[in-house]
Amino acid sequence: MNDIGIIGLGTLGRAIARGLHRAMPHLRIYATTRTSTVPRAVTRCASNADLAARTRTIVLCVKPPQAREVLRELAPVLTRDHRLISTCAGVPLERLGKVLSPQVRFARAMPNIACEYNEGVSALAFASGWTAHEREEVLRLFGALGDALPLEERHFDAVTALGGCGPAYVCMIAEALGDAGIKAGLPRDVARRMAVQTLLGSSVLLRGEKEHPAVIRDRVTTPGGCTIEALAHLESAGLRAALIAAVSAAAAKSAGLASACEMPLADVPPCAV
């Protein structure tokens, strides 16, 4: 793959563009955006139709309510050579299929913003019509941004709640740990740096060891020591239950987006072939 187009350079679109440029500096990246600036190495296109004329692989990174307008503009210019990958939460493959020509390959992806530093996680669900080679090519593309997982679309609400929203949960934990260090007497910059590095190091350890988190937790937990004292407080405060409830709430919210952002697409013109 030599080029890619990104429609929408909001938080996620910008993260994808920067991550791809970092991992694949020779990749030509085209984009359309309402913002005044574009990341380095990104070529701004005059319109979505212009973008479709320049590249055959397009990543749709707009908010769900904007999808209808964008698809209306794209539909007449997409051909059997195009591949459209939508990151729009709550816009299922079935709805995209009502707009796009059967000849156009399309898929859903749910990355998170850590892909900007090539440490993200993306789930991908493919509609029919993709060859095995084409699927692998797209998985390699998103794999350059971190971990890329092919997954059935029925799991996407959970993916959104865990992977998509996950960086916000971790940032809240990092902030709390930093504040805890400050409360314990550490200088502010030291506490926050230590909190971030501890989260990073623990994640690398989990990935490298490939053990259940409880196994590694037990390595740190000396009988009668400081760690078990802290863990007992976290359990009594309901940290585990709060995180599970938070992900469940986010998944329910994601499931509700499909109806909340219902798009009457019957008036969208058919794709070119």
User: Is residue 59 exposed (0-12), middle (13-18) or buried (19+ Cβ within 10 Å)?
Assistant: buried
Q: For the structural domain made of 3-154, what CATH number should be given?
A: 3.40.50.720
For 37-51, how does the pLDDT look when each residue is reduced to its tens digit (9 = 90+)?
A: 888 889 999 999 999
pLDDT of residue 262: 54
Domain boundaries of the chain, sorted by first residue: 3-154, 164-256
pLDDT score of 271 more than 50: no
- Which whole number is the average pLDDT over 230-247? 97
Q: Which CATH number fits domain 164-256: 3.40.50.300, 1.10.3730.10, 1.10.150.120, 3.40.50.10890?
A: 1.10.3730.10
3-154 matches 164-256 in fold: no
- Which whole number is the average pLDDT over 162-188? 97
- How many of the other CB atoms lie within 10 Å of CB of 137? 14
Q: Name the DSSP letter for residue 77.
A: T
pLDDT score of 264 more than 60: no
Give the residue, 132 or 89, on which the prediction is more confident.
132
- Which whole number is the average pLDDT over 71-89? 91
Q: Please tell me whether the overall predicted TM-score, pTM, comes out greater than 0.85 for this model.
A: yes
Q: Name the DSSP letter for residue 273.
A: -
The upper half-sphere exposure of residue 149, i.e. CA atoms within 13 Å in the direction of its Cβ, equals 15
- Which whole number is the average pLDDT over 130-141? 95
